[in-house]
Amino acid sequence: MTWSMASLALQIPWYWRWALRIEQRFETTVEQYAATAAAIAALLLLAGLLVVGGRWARERFADDVVRTVQWAAVTAATFVFTGFLVGVWELTAEVEAAFEFIAIGPSDLIRTLVTAIVFAGAYTATLLTRRAIAYGTRREMVSKHQQEIAHHIVQLVMFVPAIAFVVTLWGIPVESLFLGAGALGVVVGFAARKTLSGALSGFVILFARPFEVGDWITVSDREGIVTEVTLYNTQIRTFDEEHVLIPNDEVTGSEVTNFTRTDSLRLTTDVGIDYDADIAAAARVATEAMEECDAVNDTPSPDVIRRRFGDSEVVLRLRYWIQPPTIQHKWNAQNAVIEAVKAAFDREGIRIPFPQRELSNRPGTAVSPAGGDAAGERASGGDGTDETASGGDGTDETASGDAAADGGDP
């Protein structure tokens, strides 16, 4: 009997021998239920220990390391728990039948191991090159933009040969692979055309370099600093501290303004002066005020353009330059120019007018005390007057015409 049991054990695959021992240990139903309850209790106890131990470990180790160890322990315990129950309830035959379609031999295991080693080696190589490139960036040898390009090129160089090697290792027919890949490519191309368009646009941005990480740009009505450029989108940080992801196909299809590419940036500010003011004197005062601002460049020198006639003012455009072109420098220069020009105009008695509105009566009409028309309301004003609007809220109103002569109140 002992010899027959030993020979039977040798005929059973090595990965089922432990199940045979468990089946021989728990023979009655009571023992099976007791073993199941004990296994569940042990699994819950292990989970509690991992939770409590994780809190203690997070104070001494990185959170990612602790989380990885916890999940690895839970996964291993779950496999052991499942295998134990398979042996207790004598389910080895059912499990083996369920896995009959998987024929794994020593050669398959070796191929799987080699495949894992190849992909792990390719991934490790990309990590090492990324670190090397990042080290060069810290030493100002490689820019952030060049780092992204080099990283994606290294990924292609490492993974394409790795995939070709694995295909050859498993003996997959290349012709069938290409045929299937062609059909799959058509399907994927239709289903993910937006994603593929974004990836191609990402390569265009990475190689054409219309902007780099750290540049101040305006694109798609968004203005901010570029923080990251990937194959699929461009991330900018707006001046309201919003992080916006813009698809690369939208970037390449829109007008992009890069303020960082120039050595100096010209800013403009409009100001209005009264029609009675001396325009030449006002332009000279504004120019001298801008020249005294430290935030404004001396070269090119600031100037004033006579822009247009407004409703109640003559509009002057103040033009001045800043260097370097940063948003902080822009705000500082604008604030300084507005404060300096306003103070200079006040000092020289040059008035910046409020919007005004003139009311004039047409001949043959009279303004009643209630504001109506003695002869009937006209369509021109609704109250017997013609209105010429030159401003909005807070306007001065000047009525021309002699109301007393027309029959109104003196």
DSSP-derived 3-state class of residue 333: helix
pTM of the model: 0.46
Q: What is the pLDDT of residues 271-301, one digit of tens each?
A: 999 888 889 999 999 999 999 898 898 888 8
User: Contact at 8 Å (CB) between 353 and 311?
Assistant: no
Q: Is 44 left (phi over 0), alpha (psi -120 to 50) or beta?
A: alpha
367 Cβ neighbours under 8 A, 6+ residues apart: 361, 373, 374, 383, 384, 385, 401, 403, 406, 408
Q: What is the pLDDT of residues 344-357, one digit of tens each?
A: 999 888 888 877 66
Map out the domains of the chain as residue ranges. Answer: 13-98, 265-348, 356-410
Burial of residue 296 (CB within 10 Å: 0-12, 13-18, 19+) is: buried
Instruction: Reply yes or no on whether the pLDDT at 338 is more than 90.
Output: yes
Find the helix or strand (DSSP H, E) in which 222 lies.
strand 222-229
What are 218's strand-pairing partners? 223, 257
pLDDT at 341: 92
107 Cβ neighbours under 8 A, 6+ residues apart: none
pLDDT at 285: 92
pLDDT at 270: 92
Name the most confidently modeled range: 10-14, 23-27, 156-160, 387-391. 156-160
Residue scoring higher pLDDT (257 or 230): 257
In whole angstroms, give the CA distance from residue 303 to residue 317.
Answer: 8
Burial of residue 368 (CB within 10 Å: 0-12, 13-18, 19+) is: middle
pLDDT at 175: 61
Share of the chain above pLDDT 70, in %: 71
**Cα Rg of the chain (Å, integer):** 41
Which two structure tokens, joined as six digits, stand for 350? 């040059």
Q: What is the pLDDT of residues 240-277, one digit of tens each?
A: 888 888 888 888 888 888 888 888 889 999 999 988 88
pLDDT at 215: 87
Residue scoring higher pLDDT (64 or 234): 234
HEC profile for 160-208?
HHHHHHHHHHCCCCHHHHHHHHHHHHHHHHHHCHHHHHHHHHHHHHHHH
Residue closest to 265 by CA, chosen among 331, 314, 320, 308 = 320
What is the C-alpha end-to-end distance of the chain, expressed in Å?
137
Residue scoring higher pLDDT (45 or 89): 45
pLDDT at 394: 40
Residue scoring higher pLDDT (104 or 257): 257
Residue with tokens 């800043």: 322
Residue 337's pLDDT band (cuts 50, 70, 90): very high
Q: Which CATH number describes the domain made up of 265-348?
A: 3.30.70.100
pLDDT at 290: 92
DSSP-derived 3-state class of residue 224: strand
Pair type for strands 265-273 and 303-309: unpaired
Output phi, psi for 218, to 5 deg. Answer: -125, 125
Q: Which amino acid type is present at position 360?
A: S
User: Contact at 8 Å (CB) between 239 and 327?
Assistant: yes
